[in-house]
Each structure stands twice: as C-alpha cells, then as structure tokens.
C-alpha cells in the first residue's frame, strides 16, 4: 500500500475571511502476481555409460540450474512488460503503459535504435527522465549498434560492481572481464528473450529503458532443490520449485487469476497503472535492426 497525496496546484492567497482548502490524501495498492514455478530433470545411469563414463550428467545439470532459473524469471518479467505495454505495434491504447511507448502508435514506423530514442524516453518521463540507467535490447539490436560504432566501452578499474562508468577508464576498454558497455550513458543488457514480432528483415524488437529500482523481485518461499533416485529405473532425478514475484513498480495485477501463466501475464487487461506515468520508470521503444 502507498499514499497518494494531491500536491498539485499553487499556493492559495491568505485572507482574513476565507479558509484554506485542504488537499486530499488517498491510499492505493500495488499488487504483484505471485508465480509458483517448478521444473524437474533426470538422467539414467546408462546415459553416463553411453558417453564413456564421462562427467556426471546430474552434476552438469546442477551447475547450470542457477542460470536456467534466472533465464526463466527474466522471461516472466518480459511477459509482465508485454501485458503492461501491449503487444508490439498493437496500438492498444488500453494498455497500462501505452503512454510510455515509442514508435508503437498508429502511423509510426520503427527505426534502428538511436540517441533519439533515449531523448524521447527521457522526455516521456519528464523530470524523472534523468534517472534512466539501463537499456535492455535484443542481440540483433545490439549488433546493429556495434556495427555503427555507437557503443561506449569503459573499463571499471574501481573495484566496485559494474553498475556504471563512474570512475572508469577507457584504457583497457577492449579486454578483461570488467568492461562496462553503455549506449548514450545507459548500461546495456542484451537478451534474446525480449519480445519481438515478425520474422527476418521484417522483425520488430522491443527495447526497454529502466530507471534504478523500476522492477522489484521477492520470494514467497525460498527456492528449493530436491533430488531422488529410482533404483528400479536406475535413474537420478532433480526438481526445483520457486514461489516469487517479478514486478514492474507502479502497476497493479488487476485480475483474479491466481498463479498466472505467461499468457495471462501478457494480457493487457491483467494490468493497471497506480503510479503517475512519469514515476513508473520504464519506457519501451520498438526498433528494427540491419543485422537481419
């Protein structure tokens, strides 16, 4: 729950005959959808023997489990954003965040990602636009920027987490694990899970701009990993289950469906806006790429 105080309007002129008119304060709620998810993997003993008794298949699965879980949670977040913004180029003015879309309105023609999109994203957020820190894009959009030499590389030599270029140096900008890539001052996240539409040269890609803290995550219960062995089948099994939220700040999950599928999350009617538009902190652009 949060309070919404009406602080709009100007000072009133004091007189000796009229009282001040108090502004109202009301309460509203952000509501996140709790996602209950799980997955199991298994391997029979014969599988390991078939490859010459090499590395343990279950150990290989365990090593990749964290990356798998993070990727699945990322997909759930993009499903939430698809519902909040509407499908790419769907021109659905009923979506909660339609006012924060670029090149998605009727008659607009998406272009390759450029500084214009950063300027537009900042303008849509008004005086909060300077808080944009991150841009998430498809690898084809990233490749297009790379080809046009529009990516800045900074070597983070401060020893601090790579959250920006502050204190960095361009001296080793093309080597080492501590290179931070930015576009227009925004740190770049590359993911092929961002929503797209079309195919080949006609593909249109979502590009998301975020302010710090625009997305929150939490757990209803800690992630749990369990293992088991079926001695009759000579088979090892591993299962993971997790119960969490991945929520765009300022939105309300607006339907009664419990434990929604991605299809439900991607539905425009599933989301409503409870923050002022400029305080949402997420803008979506629709782009094309010359890399197709």
Percent of the chain having pLDDT more than 90? 60
- Which DSSP state fits 54? -
Three-state DSSP state, 12: coil
- What is the distance between the alpha carbons of residues 240 and 238, in angstroms, rounded to a whole number? 7
CB-facing half-sphere around the CA of 22: CA atoms within 13 A: 3
pLDDT of residue 157: 59
Which pLDDT does position 161 carry in this prediction? Answer: 46
Tens-place pLDDT, residues 174-183: 555 567 889 9
Query: 132-179, pLDDT tens digit by residue?
Result: 999 999 999 999 999 999 998 876 655 554 455 455 555 454 555 567
The pLDDT-based confidence of 289 (bands split at 50, 70, 90) is: very high
What is the pLDDT confidence band of residue 257, given thresholds at 50, 70 and 90?
A: very high
pLDDT of the residue at 12: 83
Q: For residue 159, what is the DSSP state?
A: S
What mean pLDDT comes out for the span 108-117? 91
pLDDT on residue 82: 95
Residue 3's H or E segment, with its range, is strand 2-5
State the pairing for strand pair 204-211/196-197.
antiparallel
Partners of 28 in the β-ladder? 2
């Amino acid at each position: 729950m949060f309070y919404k105080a009406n602080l709009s309007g100007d000072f009133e002129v004091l007189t000796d005959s009229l009282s001040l008119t108090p502004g109202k304060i009301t309460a509203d709620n952000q509501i996140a959808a709790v996602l209950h998810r799980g997955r199991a993997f298994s391997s029979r003993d014969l599988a390991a023997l078939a490859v010459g008794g090499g590395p343990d298949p279950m150990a290989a699965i365990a090593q990749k489990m964290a990356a798998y879980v993070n990727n699945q949670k990322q997909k759930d977040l993009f499903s939430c954003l698809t519902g909040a913004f509407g499908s790419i180029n769907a021109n659905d003015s009923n979506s909660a965040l339609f006012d924060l879309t670029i090149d998605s309105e009727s008659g607009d023609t998406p272009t390759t990602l450029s500084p214009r999109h950063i300027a537009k994203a900042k303008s849509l957020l008004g005086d909060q636009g300077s808080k944009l820190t991150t841009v998430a894009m498809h690898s084809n959009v990233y490749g297009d920027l790379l080809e046009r030499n529009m990516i800045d590389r900074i070597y983070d030599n401060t020893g601090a987490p790579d959250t920006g270029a502050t204190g960095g140096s361009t001296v080793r900008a093309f080597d080492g694990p501590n290179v931070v890539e930015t576009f227009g001052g925004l740190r770049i996240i590359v993911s092929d899970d961002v929503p797209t539409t079309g195919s080949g040269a006609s593909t249109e890609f979502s590009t998301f701009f975020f302010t710090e803290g625009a997305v929150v995550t939490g757990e209803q219960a800690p992630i749990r990993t369990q293992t088991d062995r079926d001695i009759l089948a000579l088979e090892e099994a591993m299962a993971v289950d997790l119960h969490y939220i991945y929520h765009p700040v300022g939105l309300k999950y607006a339907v009664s469906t419990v434990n929604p599928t991605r299809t439900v999350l991607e539905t425009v009617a599933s989301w409503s806006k409870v923050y002022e538009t400029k305080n949402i902190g997420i803008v979506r652009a629709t782009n094309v790429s010359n890399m197709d």
